[in-house]
Structure 1
Amino acid sequence: MQVKDLTIEKLKLLIQKTVTETIESLLIDFEEDKELKPEIKQQLLDSLQRTRSGEHGIPAQEVAKKLGLSW
């Protein structure tokens, strides 16, 4: 399947899953090799938990608008 064949909702879920996996891999790498500031690690873990529980973050359009970008 190609991205062009995905619905908007399926694309959002794919992006969400990719971001979650990336954050998890960063936490694992940091746990093995380097120290991550406890407050940063907690913020990432809290974000993962909120995502897993179905909470949505700031819509991309809103972020783009705040940054002065066209969406």
Structure 2
Amino acid sequence: MAYSTVADLTVEQFKDLMRQVVIQTLSEVLGDPDEGLELRDDITVRMQRSLAALQAGTKTIPAQEVAAKLGLTW
């Protein structure tokens, strides 16, 4: 049955509508826009090299230090 105004809805129908709106809004705000996309080959290679260097004990720079050098608040 189609309704033309919110006033035509029962309390349960209104609750269901609000639930749907909240779920949709949370999905839009918190969802991952890249979900389901594949990494480009060059990015995959860079990530693999980075992980291999980390596992080999290569010195890394903490994110807080990088942020400070760039004047960012971390």
- TM-score, length-scaled by structure 1: 0.42
**Which structure is larger by alpha-carbon Rg, 1 or 2?**
2
- TM-score, length-scaled by structure 2: 0.41
Determine which structure has greater relative contact order: mean sequence separation of CA pairs < 8 Å that are 6+ residues apart, divided by chain length.
Answer: 1
Structure with greater helix percent: 1
